[in-house]
Amino acid sequence: MTTPVRYTIQAAQPGAHLFEVTLHIEQPEPAGQVFSLPAWIPGSYMIREFARNIVTLSAESNGETLPVARSDKHTWHLPAGLSGPVTLRYSVYAWDLSVRTAHLDQTHGFFNGTSVFLCAHGHEARPHHVDILPPRGLEGAGWRVATSLPEAVGEPGAAERHGFGLYCAEDYDALIDHPVEMGTFSLVEFEACGVPHAVAITGRHDCDLARLAADLKPVCEAQIRLFGEPAPMDRYVFLVMAVGDGYGGLEHRASTALLCSRADLPYPGMETVSEGYRQFLGLCSHEYFHTWNVKRIKPAAFVPYKLAVENYTRLLWAFEGFTSYYDDLMLVRSGRITVADYLGLLGKTITQVHKGSGRRKQSVAESSFEAWTKYYRQDENSPNAIVSYYTKGALVGLLLDLRLRTGSGGSVSLDDLMRALWQRHGLTGRGVAEDGLYALAAELGGAEVGDWLRDLVEGTAELPLADYLAQVGVGLAWETAVATPGLGARTTAEEGGFPRLANVYDGGPAQLAGLSAGDVLVALDGLKLSAASLDKQLARRRPGERVTLHAFRRDELMCFEVELAGTLPDTARLTLVDDVQAPGQALRKAWLEG
């Protein structure tokens, strides 16, 4: 049997936010053993250089300390010619409360393998075992473990479900795809299509666990049935961190790490689905859909992941966009939200995409490719420069779905395309080629559908949403959200209460007058401004009127003459149109009911 790579990990100094890790291999590579830590975590397309959090590191063999050399920021080398087993010991600073890294204090510990487990080069394909040790100094605190990492059943010291002890992964790739939570979380379990599911919630909360499980179950089952039983995982775990204010999620092969506001969780006695809870269910649905779409159906560029460098693909519009399309669709199909709610959410997505002029400059294919430097590293100019492959990708998914449905009289849909991806790529492990979606769309809908999809994805023309929605009996109207003459800018409150320009939109009054993001507005026509009074003052003016704005740029007071803009219909409103011909009604029913 292949000797596994063995790790131990312990919350050794919770107060100092330090995990202590050991890594043991029996036979180091004769030419010199290399170890490295990933520079990014799959699902979050940004170089994060996790190795910066390794505080101390040493190596030994047969009781002797070994020299450790560095070749770059995330790589360590042991000398050539070592005969015996080697052990690395290192400490990892864990104080980032996000789903992407690691966090440790006296209340709980959380880690992604990408933050804590060095990769032993040449040994990646071996089984990887990890002994998760109880926290030091917190004996009696009642900590448990929640993870989708399988327990090392049959091995000495094997963990029991939710216990400390030995866990195992088939290889390094699997080891780093099962985040681990430890602490005194609440736990609720349910089955979806016979597969055990668990939700572990960390942090102060008053969640109605039974309600949450009852709502998640039909959403999970709708997705398993969409792709076809059996589900690709033996069990699934939602790891939820509840905080005062937060939002985020990251997908894994049999689990997801989620960050949410505790107010978004359902409370005992809650009768309706609040907006926050709807958003939380949408987040769960989104990450769950990734179990198929991106964790198993992958761009060829991710097979395998190259974790030291950026992995470029032009396909995130399908992997994130289609997932975003299905997240809310699965809520309406499983009866968790109403059709009216669903159309409201779709309207919001349309509004978001149309808000930024970046959509006229960057295609969703380019947005995918440039995720590493643009989508993930947004700045004050982003609305003018980029488009989101999440939101516009979701609309491309909607359009492709409607075109396949209307073009085939309802016999073909995006569901069929997802199932084909699953059969050909998810189940085989073969990555999707960069033009693979166009070919598949052509196969399912005809050559012209493939070309049409390519234009939507590679181009920057407005999406023909109204036409296709009309064919399934949904009306799209544009309304004016705010009747106040505007500056063409977004403001936030500065310390001291003055409005600060956060974004200055292309071609708007503020930009034309020379105002910049970062400028702090202090007076309008000589009257002192506050974040609260800006809109009130503007509401008394008319479009085309000129006003004088005083603003600080750094510490310099500047004066600007601004001609106020008229209001634009910028908010999409979707409604059911019930006088359409019968075929449209049937298509709409099939689309929304699955």
Structure tokens at 276: 């926050």
Which CB atom, from 323 or from 471, has the smaller least distance to Zn ion?
323
Q: How far is the CB of 231 from Zn ion (least distance, A)?
A: 19
Between residues 254 and 487, which has the closer beta carbon with respect to Zn ion?
A: 254
SS3 state at 129: strand
The set of residues, in sequence order, having a beta carbon less than 8 Å from that of 222 and lying 6+ positions away, is 330, 333, 334, 594
Label residue 63 left, alpha or beta by phi (over 0 means left) and psi (-120 to 50 means alpha).
Answer: left
Question: Is the CB of 394 or the CB of 562 nearer to Zn ion?
Answer: 394
User: Across the strands, what pairs with 20?
Assistant: 10, 91
CB of 286 to Zn ion, least distance (A): 5
Torsion, Cα 421 424 428 432, to 10 degrees, reads -60
Q: Helix 339-355 to helix 275-289 angle, to the nearest 10 degrees?
A: 80
Residue closer to Zn ion, measured from CB, 320 or 370? 320
On the 0-12 / 13-18 / 19+ scale of CB atoms within 10 A, 180 is: buried
Nearest approach in angstroms of CB 241 to Zn ion is 17
Contacts 24+ apart (CB under 8 A), 276-280: 278/331, 278/336, 278/337, 278/341, 278/345, 279/247
Whether the CB-CB separation of 350 and 444 falls below 8 Å is answered with no
Say how far apart CA 104 and CA 117 lie, in whole Å.
Answer: 16
CA angle 24, 28, 32 (to 5 degrees): 130
Between residues 134 and 248, which has the closer beta carbon with respect to Zn ion?
Answer: 248
HSE-up of residue 3 (Cα within 13 Å, Cβ side): 11
Element (H, E) at 480: none
**Least distance from Zn ion to the Cβ atom of residue 287, Å:** 7
Given the complex with Zn ion, which of 165 and 249 has the nearer CB atom? 249
Smallest gap, in angstroms, from Cβ of residue 39 to Zn ion?
20
CA pair distance 10, 81, nearest whole angstrom: 31
Whose Cβ is closer to Zn ion: residue 296's or residue 500's?
296
Q: How far is the CB of 290 from Zn ion (least distance, A)?
A: 6
Integer Rg of the chain from CA: 26
Report phi then psi at 191, rounded to 5: -110, 140
Closer residue to Zn ion, CB minimum distance, 59 or 284: 284
Residue 179 CB, nearest approach to Zn ion (Å): 15
Residues that bind Zn ion (CB under 5 A): 320, 323
Before 304, cis peptide (omega within 30)? yes
Whole-number minimum distance, CB 320 to Zn ion, in Å?
5
State the nearest-atom distance from the C-beta of 248 to Zn ion, in Å. 10
* Closer to Zn ion by Cβ: residue 291 or 334: 291
128/298 with CB nearer Zn ion = 298
The residue (of 131 and 320) whose beta carbon lies closer to Zn ion is: 320
Q: How far is the CB of 78 from Zn ion (least distance, A)?
A: 38
**Closest distance of CB 41 from Zn ion, Å:** 13
- Give the nearest distance from C-beta 529 to Zn ion in angstroms: 39
Question: 3-state SS string over 337-399?
Answer: CCHHHHHHHHHHHHHHHHHCHHHHCCCHHHHHHCCCCCHHHCCCCHHHHCCCCCHHHHHHHHH
**Residue nearer to Zn ion on the CB measure, 251 or 366:** 251
Given 3-state DSSP classes, what are the helix, strand and coil percentages for the chain, each rounded to the nearest 5? 30, 30, 40
Angle, helix 209-227 to helix 275-289, in steps of 10 degrees: 40
- How far lies 24's CA from each of 21, 86, 171, 267, 424, in Å? 10, 6, 15, 46, 38
Closer of 208 and 320 to Zn ion (Cβ): 320
Q: Are 314 and 366 in contact (CB under 8 A)?
A: yes
Q: Which residues are CB-neighbours of 213 under 8 A, at least 6 positions away?
A: 188, 189, 190, 199
For Zn ion, the closer CB: 320 or 415:
320
Query: What would the two tokens of residue 146 be?
Result: 């929640």
* CB of residue 281 to Zn ion, shortest distance in Å: 15
Q: How far is the CB of 326 from Zn ion (least distance, A)?
A: 11
Q: Which residues pair with 427 in a beta bridge?
A: none
Q: Which is nearer to Zn ion, 320 or 519 (CB)?
A: 320
Residue pair 86/65 in contact by the 8 Å Cβ criterion: no
| CB-based burial, 215-228: b 16+ in 10 Å, e otherwise | bbbbbbbbbbebbe
Nearest to 315 by CA among 431, 182, 212: 431
| Shortest Å, Cβ 389 to Zn ion | 10
| Angle of helix 414-421 versus helix 321-333 axis, rounded to 10 | 120
